[in-house]
Structure 1
Amino acid sequence: MKPLRIIAGDATSPQAKGPKIIAHVCNDLGGWGKGFVLAVSKRWPEPEAAYRAWHRGRSGNDFGLGAVQVVRVKPDVWVANMVGQRGMRIGSGGPPIRYDALERCLAALAGHAVELGAGVHMPRIGCGLAGGSWSRVEPLITGALCERGVAVTVYDHG
């Protein structure tokens, strides 16, 4: 098992050698424009374009809660768009985060990471606009990734 590392820094600029996957949570409405995705889009246009196309074609693909789309942005860097939140607002149904969907996303992400021999880098996924609690998210990450031997680094933006 690999320990989960939490460091200060920017998850769009991973501090590691070798192949890297930058993971983040998306909503199921096709919306991209607030939070961590802005930092992703500033660095690379491909993840946003791929996510929007994936959402547009959703009647004929796997887009939906629990799905993951891995987009290559550099020879050794990928961005994982993980659909782990329903909608975008905190309302009567509670926060948009869906822990069961996030768990399915992380299991799929682990498969990609193992296949690519990549470490995973992320902000505290699901805990910003999605309204999730780190005390519930961290064990999901540990169970899906760290226990499969995937190195995970979580970045706290200064």
Structure 2
Amino acid sequence: MEIETTAIRYLRGDATSPQAKGPKVIVHVCNDLGGWGKGFVLALSRRWPEPEAEYRRWHRERARNDFGLGALQLVQVTPDTWVANLVGQRGIRTGRSSGAPVRYEAIDRGLQTLAGQALALGASVHMPRIGCGLAGGRWDRIEPLVTARLAARRVPVTVYDHD
């Protein structure tokens, strides 16, 4: 008896150019400081100004909204594409810090929120290996969260490894 271990599709390519038909959500991990300027966000900003502008506004107005670890913000960038800013990183890495900034619980909570929104939109989800770049996380800890929160709920997921 064969047991499917993952429903995640892996592709070589650019997560800012999702390879799918229909509604799509591109998810990435943001920090909780309002900083945007390194890593995958640069590729997002080259394509669309809205995700950065909305993230910065969300952070600036955080006293009046849900901004914080585990929060998720969907920003529509085309008629059928959204970018999900997921706050899953505490601070930023600065040389000799006390461990990686990634917060797995926050990523898990954000993915749970994303699942409901993706299902409501009828959207597939696209991402780089979230939380594994500047956040310093490990994919062997994040992949099971993506599987449990998205793939197990039948949300199609594609992970892109950049060339």
TM-score, normalised to structure 2, is 0.95
Quick check: 1:148 aligned with 2:153? yes
2:38 aligned with 1:34: yes
2:131 pairs with 1:111:
no
Partners in 1 of 2:74 and 2:125 — Cα distance?
12
* Cα separation, 2, equivalents of 1:92 and 1:123: 24
**Identical residues among aligned pairs (%):** 69
Shift >2 Å, 4+ stretches: 90-93
Number of the residue aligned with 2:162? 157
Q: CA-to-partner distance for each residue in 1:40-81, whole Å, 9 max, x for gaps?
A: 000000000000000000011000000000000000000000
Shift of 1:92: 4.2
State the secondary structure of the residue aligned to 1:87.
coil
Shift of 1:94: 1.0
Distance 2:92 2:100 in 1: 8
Of residues 26, 30, 33 in structure 2, which corresponds to 1:22? 26
Letter in 1 for 2:120: E
What CA distance in whole angstroms lies between the structure 2 residues aligned with 1:96 and 1:22? 21
5+ residue gaps in structure 2? none
- Asked if residue 122 in structure 1 is aligned to residue 127 in structure 2, the reply is yes
Structure 2 SS opposite 1:111: helix
Q: Which residue does 2:82 correspond to in 1? A: 78
Structure 1 unaligned segments of length 5 or more: list them.
Answer: none
Q: For residues 125 and 8 of structure 1, what CA distance do their matches in structure 2 show? A: 15
Q: CA RMSD of the aligned region, Å?
A: 1.2
Structure of higher CA gyration radius? 2
Secondary structure in structure 1 of the residue aligned to 2:99: coil
Instruction: Deviation per CA, 1:105-129: give whole Å up to 9, x if none.
Output: 0000101100000000000000000
For residues 6 and 65 of structure 1, the distance between their equivalents in structure 2, rounded to whole angstroms, comes to 27
Report the number of matched residues. Answer: 158
**Matching residue of 2:9:** 5
